Amino acid sequence: MAPRTRAALLTMTGLSAIGVLAGCASSGTADAGSGTAGSAPAATTTTPAAGSGATSGTTTTSGAYKDGSYTEQGTYSSPGGKEVISVNLVIASDAVKAVTVKTVKADPTATQYQNKFIGGIGDAVVGKKIDDLNVTNVAGSSLTSQGFADALGKIKTDAKA
């Protein structure tokens, strides 16, 4: 095969592979931080298995999510390594009524950013619909927001009506 023909064939094959990969990437994906549910699996119970998130109090269904208090851990990577936060959301009528975030595991620098995040997260999410949450940066802490998004995705699964 001539070099020019081979180059054309490789280019077309590469473009086809890119098209397939692009189609795969856009199909069924969801931005965890955007609050869009995407194609998340439906929860079958409001009481998670031991070691996972927890619900407390009574839960009632008012829309897409069951009312109640839900706690999950979210993880993210920082320059200091893997960091973990605990997020508790109180949900009523598909909206966030209260939020509590706690440090679980973090290096000293990450702890400083998490404390800033903790101080500002309530203003960013309380009173908003859970599917409208898009927390990307709170009080200068963008990485902690990734951990929040991770926990939020788990909470949404736990709270699915």
> How high is the pLDDT of residue 2?
53
Distance CA 83, CA 42 (A): 27
Instruction: Read off the pLDDT band of 106 (50, 70, 90).
Output: very high
- The pLDDT > 90 percentage for the chain reads 60
- Looking at per-residue pLDDT, the higher value among 107 and 37 belongs to 107
Distance CA 138, CA 146 (A): 11
Point out which residues pair with 72 in neighbouring strands: 87
Distance CA 122, CA 112 (A): 17
Please provide the DSSP assignment of 19-49 as one string: HHHHHHHHSS---TTTT--TTPPPPS-SSPP
> How high is the pLDDT of residue 63?
76
Instruction: Read off the pLDDT band of 42 (50, 70, 90).
Output: very low
Q: What is the pLDDT of residues 117-142, one digit of tens each?
A: 999 999 999 999 999 999 999 999 99
Residue 16, pLDDT above cutoff 80? no
Q: What is the pLDDT of residues 49-98, one digit of tens each?
A: 333 344 444 445 557 999 999 999 999 999 999 999 999 999 999 999 99
